[in-house]
Amino acid sequence: MKYIQWTAMAATLAAGATMAAGCSSSSPDPGPSCVMTSELTPAARSGNLLRRAYVASRDSGNVTVIDLDTLEIVGSVNTCSKGYHMVELNADFTKVYASGTEEAKIDVLDARTLGLNTQISVGAEPSHLNLSRDGKLLAIVDEKDNAVSFVDPARDVEVKRVPGFHTPHFVRFDHDNRYAYVANMGAYHVTRVDLSTLAIDATIPLDGHKDSDVMPEGEEGGFADVQIDQDGVLWGAHAESGKVLLYDTKAHKKLPEFRAGQRPWVVYAEHPFAGIEARVVPDHRKLGVSLLQRSSVGSAPPEDAPTIRTEEPESYGVNYSSLVPDKAFVMNRMRKEIAVINTRTKELTARIGVGGNTETASTTPDGKWIVAAVSDANRVVVIDAQTNAIVKTFDDVGKYPWTVTIPQGQNYCH
């Protein structure tokens, strides 16, 4: 039996947000008659918050909660938002922060009840959000405003909105909690923010480029993400140039750059797993993924990284597992499948049909499950990382499930 809860505060906030919003072809306005609803099983209200997966739906104000022990849906909330791009959790996993690009706000949900605690005003088009490693700051990219909002997750208030970026797309934090690094989709450099002052203190350009080199308005050929691996090395794939910028965030110095193909997307380097040597990079022109190696950092860069062909022009996500460190799971949007590659032998070893376009997934912290959103089928699948078998399928998961977030798992967005 499901427990259904409505709160007066939630209804008031949701109604206010709905009535103030406009319309969109991809995320229709739910209308003034929409009433926020939330469902959560009694067991989930007191259960282990670490053993959950949160699925954000792009075309509805829906977040779905999956129990990772039972592989059952144990909760769902519809806030009447116009759609969610991504969710992030606070340090003790009791709060869920949900961003939607069509409204300049972040919804804050109570993980125990799925009630709406509050809303935080931020800049225009907030997409990706990330918690600092010490849990003291939440960074949200306000893409349209070329700004980053820094939020105090203890008080749930924006403490500073920092301008000066070029279509900021993701923020990553160093291991020492001193700096944040911002990926600029519209430029040839990465921007560094001093967390003690919340001000830009440096830019890190590609070789042969200046800080002032930017792309024409609206062009997005720069850095989609700048993931920082367990060694403290930042990896930033630059789409237009085909280069990968490397930066040592501990020694604060640039390292030799790599070439990663013709149109690299993101170097997947940030995850919770030890023993993963590969740095896999989807390439949107080579119909495959480029393969970089952790051990090659600081050495003379190769002319071009080796490519494993998947015949897919729009791979976005890549997932790893500590249980199979030589495997990578590549989310193939157009082929509506997940390609499995062996990063040691550099071979495509399997294709997992999922019945729809899949672009993002999350890996559980124990490496057991890959939980993937199958967006245009309104579906989520759970894959056994060791056998490649789909062990569970959830249908009718919101409208266009977009991202999955698992506490302490490998999480990302695009």
Residue 218 pLDDT: 84
Confidence of residue 11 (pLDDT cuts 50, 70, 90): very low
Whether residue 165 contacts residue 146, with contact meaning beta carbons closer than 8 Å, is answered with: yes
Please report the pLDDT score of residue 300 as a whole number: 61
341 three-state secondary structure: strand
For the residues 364-375, what does the mean pLDDT come to?
98
pLDDT at 12: 34
Contact present, 91 and 50 (Cβ < 8 Å): no
| Per-residue b or e along 167-188, where b marks 16 or more CB atoms closer than 10 Å to that residue's CB | bbbbbbbbeeeebbbbbbbbbb
Please name which of 195, 228, 233, 188 lies closest in space to residue 212, comparing C-alpha atoms.
188
Residues pairing with 105 in the sheet:
121
Buried (b) or exposed (e) across 264-291, using 16+ Cβ within 10 A?
A: bbbbbbbbbbeebebbbbbbbebebbbb
Q: DSSP for 177-229?
A: SSEEEEEETTBSEEEEEETTTTEEEEEEEPTT--TT-BPPTT---SBS--EE-
Fold entry, domain 122-219: Neuraminidase (2.120.10)
Contact by Cβ (8 Å): 329, 381: no
**Helix ranges (DSSP H) in 265-329:** none
Residue 100 and residue 85 in contact, taking contact as beta carbons nearer than 8 Å? yes
Q: What is the pLDDT of residue 343?
A: 97
Mean pLDDT of 338-346: 97
Q: Range with the lowest mean pLDDT among 4-13, 140-149, 298-307? A: 4-13
Contact between 383 and 338 (Cβ < 8 Å): yes
- Is-contact 171 133, C-beta < 8 A? no
Report the percentage of the chain scoring pLDDT > 90.
87
Which one-letter amino acid corresponds to residue 169? H
In the structure, what pLDDT confidence band is assigned to residue 17 with cuts at 50, 70 and 90? very low
Give the whole-angstrom CA distance, residue 273 versus residue 129. 21
* Chain mean pLDDT for the chain: 91
* Residue 2: both structure tokens together: 């499901």
Place of tokens 């193939």: 332
Q: What is the distance, to the nearest Å, from the Cα of residue 12 to the centroid of all Cα atoms in its chain? A: 29
Q: What Rg, from alpha-carbon coordinates, does the chain have?
A: 20
Among 178, 122, 125, 173, which residue's Cα sits nearest to residue 150?
122
Length of the chain: 414
What is residue 176's predicted lDDT score, i.e. its pLDDT? 97
Chain segment 149-163, per-residue pLDDT in tens:
999 999 999 999 999
- Report d(CA 278, CA 80) in Å as an integer: 41
**Is-contact 141 170, C-beta < 8 A?**
yes
Going by C-alpha positions, the residue among 362, 323, 283 that lies closest to residue 86 is 362
Beta bridge partners of 140: 129, 149
pTM assigned to the model: 0.92
Across the range 329-349, mean pLDDT stands at 97
Give the pLDDT of residue 296.
86
pLDDT per residue over 250-306, tens digit each? Answer: 999 999 999 998 999 999 999 999 999 999 999 999 999 999 999 888 776 666 789
Q: If pLDDT is split at 50, 70 and 90, which confidence band does 31 have?
A: low
Q: Where in the chain is CATH 2.40.10.480?
A: 1-121
At 34 the pLDDT is 85
CB distance 108 to 94 below 8 Å: no
- Chain-centroid distance of CA 316 in Å reads 11
Tell me the per-residue pLDDT of 38-60, one tens digit each, with 9 for 90 and over: 999 999 999 999 999 999 999 99
Q: How far apart are CA 363 and CA 212, in angstroms?
A: 38
* 384 band by pLDDT with thresholds 50, 70 and 90: very high
Q: What is the pLDDT of residues 195-228, one digit of tens each?
A: 999 999 999 999 999 989 999 988 999 999 999 9
CB 87 within 8 A of CB 98: yes
Residue range(s) occupied by CATH 2.120.10.30 in the chain: 122-219
Q: Is the CATH number of domain 1-121 3.30.1490.190?
A: no
Listed ranges 4-13, 119-128, 294-303; the one with the highest mean pLDDT: 119-128
Indicate if the pLDDT at residue 172 is higher than 60.
Answer: yes
What backbone phi and psi angles, to 5 degrees, belong to 354? -120, -5
Q: Using DSSP, how many helices (H) and how many strands (E) does the chain show?
A: 2, 33
Average pLDDT over residues 13-31: 35
Question: Does the pLDDT at position 23 exceed 80?
Answer: no
